[in-house]
Amino acid sequence: MLTRKNEVLVLAVIAAVLFSFVPPSISVEKEQALSRKNNPVKAAELESIQTEDISPKKESSKEVSPVSELHEKDEEFLKWLEKNYPKEAEKLEKVINKDSKQDNTSGDILGTYGKIFEVSKSNPKLAKLLKKDLALTKKRDKILDQIKSAKEKEKQKLIKKLEKILTNRYELILQRKQLAYEQLHKKLEILTKKVKKRAAEVENWKETEIKEENVKVRLEELIGKAEDFRWY
């Protein structure tokens, strides 16, 4: 006979299976709401167990700050940032020293510069283009803010500056596409060489003499394995 706790666990499993087959038009939240309406006590017990099972177990009550992890794992990124964007590196160091869990500066900096950093390790040319594009994007955003509050005469000047920035960004995008094409072309050349090599190997294996030799070698391998087999 099932105990109270086992009964609830079984129901939790059944509920999970049923929820996995809920039609797209009915959300899991609606199903849980219906369950709470029909049997609120049982629903509360199920939700409690599901939360307990899904929630990760904490080995220690002491929280590890995301900024502390950044300090430990991303020293290489920090050095790169100091070299390429010293002001941003200074901001990041202040956050690290403060060890603030509420500060989003570290996430913003990683989101903005993390991709360029990763690309710089494998593709310096692309990283250089990304840096230029980032600088132009910041100028674009700054001018757009100025246009919102500028008077008509000043606005026209700003629009001309914006047009120039967009032209430069367009050229950068073309360079990025050209670089991507060249890289793809190199990969295609390598792949073409491999295909030709494999094709030559297949043609070679079709030769009667080579075919018979390969079959003979495989036969000897199989027989040899059979003789070496031990039942103890």
Choose the weakest-confidence range: 103-117, 136-150, 198-212.
103-117
Q: Is the pLDDT reported for residue 229 higher than 70? A: no
Q: Is the pLDDT reported for residue 80 higher than 60? A: yes
pLDDT at residue 56, as a whole number: 44
Domain boundaries, the chain: 4-50, 88-122, 188-228
What are 133-142's pLDDT values in tens digits?
Answer: 999 999 999 9
pLDDT at residue 68, as a whole number: 52
pLDDT at residue 96, as a whole number: 73
pLDDT at residue 111, as a whole number: 87
**Which of 103, 120, 28 has the alpha carbon at shortest distance from 68?**
103
SS3 58: coil
Q: How much is the pTM?
A: 0.53
The 10 Å CB-count burial string (b at 16+, else e) for 152-188 is eeeeeebeeebeebeebbeebeebbeeeeeeeeeeee
Q: Which two tokens stand for residue 215?
A: 């079959």
pLDDT at residue 37, as a whole number: 52
Distance of CA 5 to the CA centre of its chain: 40
